[in-house]
Amino acid sequence: MRPLKILLVDDSDQNRVLIRAILEADGYEVFEAKDGQEAVDKVTAGSFDLLILDLILPGKDGFAVLAELAQLHNLPILVMSALGDESSRIRALELGASDFLSHPVGRAELSVRVRSLVRTKVLQERLDDSFSKLIALGRSSEVHLAELKSVGRLSADPLPSLVEQLHAASKAGRDPDLIVAFQRNNGSCTGRIFKGTWESGQVSFEVRPCELSEDSFILSEVGLWNQHIASPDKWVSIIKEVLIPEVGPVHNMVYSTAPGRILVTANYPRDVDAFDVEVVRGFALHWEFVGRVVASSREIEEAFEYTVQALSRAAEASDNNVGAHLHRVSAYSGLLAELIEMPPSFIRTIEVQSQLHDVGKIQIPDELLHKPGDLTDEEMEAMKLHTVYGARILGDHPKLAMAASIALNHHERWDGSGYPNGLKGEQIPIEGRIVKLADVYDALRCERPYKPALSHRFAVEVITRGDLRIKPTHFDPKLLDAFRRATPRFAEIHEEMKHIHQITPKAAFMRFDASMTCSRSGTKANRT
């Protein structure tokens, strides 16, 4: 624990020598000033735990110092002066003095008054520090809620941001140098050590792994240990045994344990207390809560995505290539959405729900779906209805709103010549425009009962230059430009997913998760 610093302001050399001797004998670090202006300058430039101030000073007197400093600094001020009359005491206290002693003063009384004022300041600082951390905890919740709103799910690993919040919320010089988080997973107890610094509002830390024995996870407990305590409890002993070989000496520690998680903060530059325990408990509970939300949301998301895929496969159950087609359209759509800088939540949603673009074909007769050769006008009109059927099947549930929009609008054309409603330009929802292009490219690349498969080069040429059926004016110009830039990646995706027939829910989730990781990191080459 750092020595507490006191600034002694008195123009009398004799007084300063005597008072300094008493304070240093009590363990304080003493600094001196001989006049009022010097006192103001030192308080402004430095950091002190107590100011002992004489009122009778050359130049700027003690009253003027009080008037200036009491408004600017949360610093306890003990006035010690020969001016002991009632009016002087009242004036000093009104100007912000914390206490008043009249000369001469005994050693015992001075020690008690100083100790009381310093203790009050330290407690206030700790309370302020704890309050700042609790505010940071609330802000961390806000961050997670914003992430949930933007991306549609929580980060799979909220711990680094939580650690950063815990560090950043501490007052400079009062934060823990070390934060360690242990988690039980599949029979092992792995941990991460965050060893960091707090400088000028910026947090930086290094992360390294560590392990804890399985039997360390017992009942939930919270506690603390300061280095001057001779016999630490069992938890502290266990944690020290793990950490000391990794980071060296450990002191001033707070811990909070739960059946599957342990959060430890250590190496504070001061003693820790009950305030710190409650703060760490709050962060540990938040970590546990977010972890459970992440796990639950993952399960729900996997189930939803699997349901989407099952429904989309059902639409073309007789087509052996449907799995590959659906997943390629998903990948193309996500890539295009990313290239035109759509939000992460949109990208993720279109990757999943674009697979339902042809769900309306469930209501189209197989003989019509797989008819070789051209369709008659009447058959073509019947085929066009799969867009309307798809929107009806998907309904109006908000969770499937994009899927319903895609199903209805993925055959609309930018120039207004599409179906079912002949929408034009930006009348067509952006998700419909994206899947339109993705679906056309994949249809050109695939063999169908009524046509052979085209090469990548010819498919690109048809889309960008046109043929008897397809024109560049069918597509959103912005998307067409993105497609031109991404044609090499389209070719790679087609080749990578050439033989996919179906995919497990877990694998689907991992693929989508990986695609978003790439998106956030700025990597666009591996979206599948």
Q: What's the chain's average pLDDT? A: 80
Cβ–Cβ < 8 Å for 427, 403: no
Region(s) of the chain under CATH 3.30.450: 126-293
CATH 3.40.50.2300 fits 5-105, yes or no: yes
Compute the C-alpha angle 527/405/401, nearest 5°: 85
Query: Which pairing describes strands 50-53 and 5-9: parallel, antiparallel, or unpaired?
Result: parallel
What pLDDT score does 500 carry?
Answer: 58
Higher pLDDT, 19 or 124: 19
**Residue 79 amino acid letter:** V
Answer yes or no: is pLDDT of 487 > 50: yes
Domain with CATH 3.40.50.2300 in the chain: 5-105
Helices 344-353 + 430-445 axis angle, to 10: 50
Neighbours of 478 (CB within 10 A): 14
Q: ∠267-250-161 over CA atoms, to 5°?
A: 50
> Where along the chain do the CATH 1.10.3210.10 domains lie?
316-521
Task: Calculate what percentage of the chain has a pLDDT beyond 90.
Answer: 35
49-76: per-residue pLDDT in tens? 899 999 999 989 999 999 888 766 678 9
DSSP codes joined into one string, 43-70: HHHS--SEEEE-S--SSS-HHHHHHHHT
Who's near 104: CB < 8 A, 6+ residues apart?
none
Helix, strand, or coil (residue 448):
strand
pLDDT at site 512? 39
For the domain spanning 316-521, the CATH number is: 1.10.3210.10
Class of domain 126-293: alpha beta
Q: What is the pTM of this model?
A: 0.52
Task: Express each pLDDT in 323-361 by its tens digit.
Answer: 678 889 999 999 999 999 999 889 989 998 998 998 888
Q: What is the 3-state secondary structure (H, E, C) of 466-505?
A: CCCCCCHHHCCHHHHHHHHHHHHHHHHHHHHCCCCCCCCH
222-277, pLDDT tens digit by residue? 888 898 887 777 778 888 888 888 888 888 998 887 767 888 888 888 888 887 88
Tell me what pLDDT residue 129 has.
67
Tokens of 214: 């399985």
As a dihedral over the C-alpha atoms of residue 139, residue 145, residue 148, residue 154, rounded to 10 degrees, the angle is: 50
Phi first, then psi, for residue 209 (nearest 5°) are -80, 160
